[in-house]
Amino acid sequence: HHRRTLTLEQRAARCPNPAGRRLLEIISRKRTNLCISLDMTDSAEILSTARLVAPYVCLFKTHVDIVADFSQDFVAELTAIAEEHDVLIFEDRKFADIGNTARLQYEAGMYRIAEWSHFTNAHVVSGPGVVDGLRGAAERLGRGLLLLAEMSSAGSLVTGPVTELAVELAAREPALITGLIAGGALLPDTADVITMSPGVSLAGEDSPTARPAAGDSFGQQYVTPRRAIMDRGTDVVIVGRAIIGAADPVAAAKLHQTAAWQAYEQSVAH
Ligand code: 5IU
């Protein structure tokens, strides 16, 4: 099992990134380290699901470029739901261009991501300049950046030197880089870097009870919250279809919240 030396509450108190601090406080207060991935293409559907699952999650993860009827009204409504229920927003944009283009994609265009998203993420394949492109708006608005250190999909090339660069940048500047997207913790918890893991489902490949749905037909691979949190030391689990595709999304959200929180509590106790 992965060893934690600090609780998420202790890490909130010392977190150098404002959005990260807020997230860790919300996690501790609501007792949920579950992020819901709202991967729907209709804004009304996203908003109604967000409303239903909000009490059980710390973070709404979006892909605004899949929303067919995107508007700033949609963003305002999502923000209102988030504020009402003590949830933050993470636009999973995966910036990957040179710094200057990433800067424009983050601040401008029809989405204006920096204005409303507490967190966004970036690949480091183009080198550390992407972080400098995102830095201006992130620092001005108190946002958090997450770097992709690993991906959950089969055959991912986000490995080796790419992983190393993401880890090095996060370790060097946790006040800007709130965390890493990875399968598990890649730094000790004293590094003040939050780890978030996608590819999580109660029906993951190591599930002792559910009939394992180890992936999808596009290379996605799932592990259970327990494996991601207890064995691999992640802090936040990102769950999409296991909740939004369930017959009862609220029940599925509750089950994933409970499993993820229990796994966290056990990894603190031992
Ligand atoms: N996502 C991954 N794997 C990754 C990264 C992001 O699945 O390595 I980085 C995103 C894609 C999707 C969500 O929005 O996380 C997972 O959705 P499902 O739980 O429905 O597979």
220 is in an annotated binding site: yes
ipTM value, please give it.
Answer: 0.99
CB 147 within 8 A of CB 124: yes
- Per-residue confidence of the chain (270 residues) as pLDDT tens digits? 888 999 999 999 999 999 999 999 999 999 999 999 999 999 999 999 999 999 999 999 999 999 999 999 999 999 999 999 999 999 999 999 999 999 999 999 999 999 999 999 999 999 999 999 999 999 999 999 999 999 999 999 999 999 999 999 999 999 999 999 999 999 999 999 999 999 999 999 999 886 666 789 999 999 999 999 999 999 999 999 999 999 999 999 999 999 999 999 999 986
Q: Closest Cα partner for 96 from 166, 179, 152?
A: 166
Altogether, the residues listed in the chain come to a count of 270
Residue 39, annotated ligand binder?
yes
Q: Is 97 tagged catalytic?
A: yes
Nearest Cα residue to atom 8 of ligand 1: 151
d(CA 196, CA 198): 7
- Give the chain's radius of gyration (CA, Å): 17
- The answer on whether 240 is annotated among ligand-binding residues is yes
236-269: burial string, b at 16+ Cβ within 10 Å, e else = bbbbbebbbeeeebeebbbbbbbbbbebbeebee
d(C-alpha 24, C-alpha 15), whole Å: 8
* Ligand 1 atom closest to 244 (CA): 20
Can you state the angle between helices 249-269 and 43-53, rounded to 10 degrees?
Answer: 50
- What phi and psi values does residue 36 have, to the nearest 5 degrees? -95, 130
Helical packing angle, 43-53 and 72-85, nearest 10°: 0
Supply the DSSP symbol for 221.
B
Strand partners, 146: 121, 179
The one catalytic residue among 42, 65, 73, 94: 94
Q: 109: burial class by Cβ within 10 Å (0-12, 13-18, 19+)?
A: exposed
List 92, 189, 192, 235, catalytic entry? 92
Whether residue 132 lies in the annotated active site: no
